[in-house]
Amino acid sequence: MNENARPTLPAAVIRPATAVDLPTVVRIRNNAVEHSTALWTHQLVDLSTVTGWLGDAATAGHAFLVAEVDGVPVGYATYGRWRPYSGFRHTVDDSIYIEDGHHGRGIGIGLLSELITHARQAGYHLMVADIEAGNTASIALHRKVGFEVSGTVPQVGTKFGRWLDLTIMSLQLEEDAPPRD
């Protein structure tokens, strides 16, 4: 065996989230809140809040997915309305979070690919990703599946005592078609 070969890691299974997965979602989300600039908030979530998200996703017909490895959830992803105004009703934004220690294993691309498939099947026109400009891993992940940078807004947010820039990426989900008003 090649000494430099990386061990084969078990593949992630992507599936719809259930109530059993929600404590893991809470832990992953709160870790991102406390230790990263992926979420520009200091507000931690609890099981009740995340249970509401799962219900809201189901009611709206949006995907709420988990990735599991060896039967253990290690990441989650969902999409929702990008803005609350009716003119934006054909546009959704994605959210993807992976548990520490599981990055770089293809889990993010698996989750994002499934979100895109679901949003296309649901008839959405555009998916947006709002990403902290220094999060090169998330930007690269989105580029891999066809997202393009639409622009960067400098110093639009703050966390950990510094200004943050927001890179906005987008992916057209359907061929050019007239809006469905």
Model confidence over 92-119: pLDDT tens digits? Answer: 999 999 999 999 899 999 999 999 999 9
- SS (HEC) of the chain: CCCCCCCCCCCCEEEECCHHHHHHHHHHHHHHHHHCCCCCCCCCCCHHHHHHHHHHHHHHCCCEEEEEECCEEEEEEEEEECCCCHHHCCEEEEEEEECCCCCCCCHHHHHHHHHHHHHHHCCCCEEEEEEECCCHHHHHHHHHCCCEEEEEEEEEEEECCEEEEEEEEEEECCCCCCCCC
Packing angle between helix 107-121 and helix 136-144, nearest 10 degrees? 50
Query: Which tokens hold the place of 84?
Result: 């609350």
**pLDDT reported for residue 176:** 72
Indicate whether 139 pLDDT > 90.
yes
Q: What is the overall mean pLDDT for the chain?
A: 93
Indicate whether 160 pLDDT > 90.
yes
Indicate whether 177 pLDDT > 80.
no
Which residue type sits at 93?
D
Query: Which tokens hold the place of 178?
Result: 């007239």
Which has the closest alpha carbon to 108: 136, 88, 85, 80? 136
Mean pLDDT is lowest, of 7-21, 83-97, 160-174, for 7-21
Average pLDDT value for residue range 158-170: 97
Indicate whether 5 pLDDT > 60.
no
Indicate whether 7 pLDDT > 90.
no
**pLDDT reported for residue 1:** 46
**pLDDT reported for residue 178:** 72
Indicate whether 4 pLDDT > 80.
no
The sheet that has 72-81: what strands, in order across it? Answer: 13-16, 64-69, 72-81, 91-98, 126-132, 162-172, 148-159
pTM for the full predicted model:
0.90
Which has the closest alpha carbon to 76: 31, 135, 130, 10? 31
Mean pLDDT is lowest, of 37-51, 106-120, 164-178, for 164-178
